[in-house]
Amino acid sequence: MIEVIIVAVLVIWSTIVVFKKVFPTSANSVFMHLSNLCNKQGWHTLAKWLKPAEVSGCGGGCGCAVTEEKTVKQPEIQAVKWK
């Protein structure tokens, strides 16, 4: 009986992780809705746990990093001219 519960918990957890990785926008929407429902019921700790993390960076999905590091320009390699 305990093995069935452990396997069920692992399958549910894995499904949630894959859902968050594959559909991040939908997952944020679903978890925000669940967080709001729990907050209305008075379950503030569960609501805090379900609330999705805020997006850092530009949030546009453009691939820009949160910390913009300037790249050091390497000097161009010049060809050797033999005289």
Asked whether residue 35 is assigned to any structural domain, the reply reads yes
Q: In three state form, how does the secondary structure of the chain look?
A: CHHHHHHHHHHHHHHHHHHHHHCHHHHHHHHHHHHHHHHHHCCHHHHHHHCCCCCCCCCCCCCCCCCCCCCCCCCCCCCCCCC
Domain that holds residue 44: 23-52
Asked whether residue 60 is assigned to any structural domain, the reply reads no
Confidence of residue 73 (pLDDT cuts 50, 70, 90): confident
How confident is the model at residue 7, as a pLDDT? 96
**Pick the residue with more confidence: 76 or 48?**
48
pTM of structure: 0.57
Count of structural domains, the chain: 1
Q: Give per-residue pLDDT as tens, 4-61.
A: 999 999 999 999 999 999 998 899 999 999 999 999 999 888 888 888 887 665 655 5
